[in-house]
Structures are given as structure tokens and as C-alpha cells.
């Protein structure tokens, strides 16, 4: 709170929605510019007709991209049951 209420011009934060709300309230008083990336739980969905090798490669790449600190990084993967074992291999 001390950092956000200090005489700065802008705040950027990646984190939870709860903390984002608190930061937004603090920034509103001084009309500070604000960029928030909040609470992502971004799923990847893999259907039976997908290129499974490419999907598996992308699952790893996009879950670890920028150490996972991206608002759209893959956090959960849903795989159609008929190809789940093949995908997991």
C-alpha cells in the first residue's frame, strides 16, 4: 500500500484479483495509470482431431513461457478422453 500511495505515476501488477482490487482503490484517489493482469486460470482444450504432437509441445511451451508469469499462460489442460492417453505420452 505504501508503494502504491507514494508519488508515482503508474502501477503495473500481475497477481490475484483480490490484491488487484486493493491496488485499484489506492490508484483511484490520485488517478494513477494502472495496468493489471489478474487471476488467470487459462485452460487449453485438446480435441480428438488435434495434432497431438503439436498440442503437447504447445502445452509445455505456453505453460512455461516467461516462467508462467503471463496472464494467458496455460494453467490447466482438458483433453478429450478418447486421446488422453496418447496426448500424455
**Which one is catalytic: 57, 67, 71, 89?**
71
pTM assigned to the model: 0.57
Q: Is the pLDDT of residue 83 over 90?
A: yes
Q: Is 65 helix (H, G, I), strand (E, B) or coil?
A: helix
pLDDT band per the 50, 70, 90 thresholds, residue 1: low
* Residue 23 burial (CB count, 10 A): 20
Spacing of C-alpha 13 from chain mean position = 12
pLDDT of residue 79: 97
Active-site residue 37, yes or no? yes
Active-site residue 67, yes or no? no
Report pLDDT digits (tens) over 18-77.
999 999 999 998 899 999 888 777 889 999 999 999 999 999 998 888 776 666 788 899
Amino acid at each position: 500500500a505504501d508503494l502504491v500511495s507514494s508519488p508515482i505515476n503508474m502501477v503495473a501488477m500481475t497477481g490475484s484479483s483480490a490484491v488487484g482490487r486493493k491496488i485499484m482503490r489506492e490508484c483511484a484517489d490520485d488517478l494513477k495509470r494502472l495496468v493489471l493482469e489478474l487471476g488467470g486460470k487459462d485452460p487449453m482444450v485438446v480435441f480428438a482431431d488435434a495434432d497431438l504432437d503439436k498440442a503437447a509441445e504447445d502445452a509445455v511451451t505456453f505453460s512455461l513461457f516467461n516462467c508462467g508469469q503471463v496472464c494467458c499462460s496455460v494453467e490447466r489442460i482438458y483433453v478429450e478422453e478418447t486421446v488422453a492417453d496418447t496426448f500424455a505420452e
